[in-house]
Amino acid sequence: MAGTDGAPILKLGTDDAIAGLALSTEAHWNQTDEDWRIFLREGIVFGIRDHMRLVATAALLPYSGNNAWISMVLVSGTHRRRGLATRLVDTCLETARQNGLTSWLDATPDGAAVYGPLGFTPTLQLRRLKLARPGRAEAPPSPSATLEALAARDRRATGFDRTALLSAFAQRAGSRIVTANGAIALVRDGRTARHIGPLLADNAAAALVLVDEITRSETNLLLLDAVAPQSAFLDGLTASGWTIERPFQRMRFGPATVAAEELPFAVAGPEFG
Ligand SMILES: CC(C)(COP(=O)(O)OP(=O)(O)OC[C@H]1O[C@@H](n2cnc3c(N)ncnc32)[C@H](O)[C@@H]1OP(=O)(O)O)[C@@H](O)C(=O)NCCC(=O)NCCS
């Protein structure tokens, strides 16, 4: 019998950041120790241990307007297909239900196989894109914009007030908020790649100009999570060397409670929406 059969679901604390990071690193995800600390500090992270080792996690991050983001659903390769993810996501959903929250998530294809049967319904499609070799930095960074401007635009696109989250990102070493032609984006460090997002713009041309400016002033591997219905943006990225790594399916459990006024071009990341 596996050591996790009937193992209790635990609430994790900030001391578990390193063990959580080991799970996301095993899955080749881009989260850093600082990302895990956001979930452990601002959200509720459930986990299952096999003896002393953390082998499975799922996090619920509360957002404004009775919403919550579910993410960091991770099960170590040694413990998959034993129902651990299902138990943990069910626990997140029960917590959301008790607090009257609508739950959202961005699912990998493997994750969507778990969430569909639990009652999540698909909404928006996303695409993870990668630019393997931005090359040498040859342009000065785009002008920087304020956190207030980014948070206000992000709110129009998501319906959530994420000032605290965006502020935490912006305060990290290496983060920058950049703008050009009315487009605005945040660039931050990940474990193995720099991440562009959220990215908000009036049209695909402005979004592409900003990505190009960012690309020409960066030297590391870059990632962004594009909103698939922004097809002219996606086409422009692939034409300039970005490759599609994987799809994500946005899913919702519970009633829609937010009305977004504009569609983003890239999101903050599947773990944050
Ligand atoms: C996705 C993941 C969390 C699933 O964890 P898990 O504990 O193995 O999932 P469960 O045992 O609860 O699976 C429940 C059901 O989902 C489906 N399922 C789970 N993983 C699947 C896969 N890789 N392919 C197809 N169906 C899958 C199956 O129907 C499964 O039921 P079954 O085993 O009785 O057939 C795990 O594979 C993982 O950590 N993957 C890498 C990270 C990731 O993609 N996380 C999801 C982010 S949205």
pLDDT digits (tens, 9 = 90+) for 172-184: 999 999 999 999 9
Name the residue among 156, 168, 161 with its Cα closest to residue 261: 156
Distance 228 CA to ligand 1 centre (A): 24
Say yes or no: CB of residue 75 within 6 Å of ligand 1.
Answer: yes
- 133 and 248 in a single domain? The answer is yes
pLDDT at 133: 73
Query: Are 186 and 242 part of one and the same domain?
Result: yes
- Residue 193 CA to ligand 1 centre (angstroms): 25
CA distance linking residue 91 with residue 118, whole number of Å: 11
Residue ranges of the alpha helices (H) in 159-203? 163-170
Q: How far is CA 254 from CA 124, 158, 208, in A?
A: 15, 16, 34
Pairing label, strands 121-131, 102-107? unpaired
Alpha carbon of 149 to ligand 1 centroid (Å): 39
Same domain, 133 and 246: yes
Answer yes or no: do 80 and 140 share one domain. no
**96 and 151 together in one domain:** no
> Using 50, 70 and 90 to split pLDDT, how confident is the model at 152?
very high
Q: Which residues contact 125 (CB under 8 A, 6 or more apart)?
A: 227, 228, 229, 247, 248, 249, 250
Same domain (yes/no): 40, 115: yes
Q: Which amino acid is at 69?
A: W
State the first-to-last Cα distance of the chain, in angstroms, to the nearest integer. Answer: 37
Secondary structure of residue 223 in the 3-state scheme = strand
Residue 259: what pLDDT? 82
Residue 60: CA count within 13 A, CB half-sphere: 24
State which residues form the domain around 196.
127-253
Say what the pLDDT of residue 141 is.
72
pTM of the model: 0.95
Q: Are residues 143 and 246 in the same domain?
A: yes
Within a domain: 259: no
- Express each pLDDT in 209-240 by its tens digit: 999 999 999 999 999 999 999 999 999 999 99
> Is 85 close to ligand 1, i.e. is its CB under 6 Å away?
yes
12 lines ligand 1 (CB under 6 A): no
Distance CA 171, CA 244 (A): 29
Q: Whose CA is nearest to atom 20 of ligand 1?
A: 110
Does residue 138 share a domain with residue 120?
no
- Tell whether 27 and 98 lie within a shared domain: yes
User: Where does a domain end: 108, 124, 140?
Assistant: 124
Tell me, yes or no, whether 96 lies in a domain.
yes
Q: Based on the fold, state whether residues 231 and 183 are members of the same structural domain.
A: yes
Residue of the CA atom closest to atom 26 of ligand 1: 113
Residues 54 and 149 both lie in one domain: no
Question: Which residue is closest in CA terms to ligand 1's atom 14?
Answer: 114
For the Cβ of 89 lying below 6 angstroms from any atom of ligand 1, the answer is no
Distance from the Cα of residue 257 to its chain's centroid: 20
The answer to whether the CB of 73 is under 6 A from ligand 1 is: yes
Residue type, 228: A
- Of 105, 124, 143, the residue that ends a domain is 124
199 and 92, same domain (yes or no): no
Degrees (nearest 5) of the Cα angle 87, 63, 187? 105
Burial (0-12, 13-18, 19+ Cβ within 10 Å), 16: buried
For ligand 1, whether the C-beta of 25 sits within 6 Å is no
Structure token pair of residue 240: 């300039």
Which CATH number characterizes residue 170's domain?
3.40.630.90
Question: What six digits make up the tokens of 264?
Answer: 């983003």
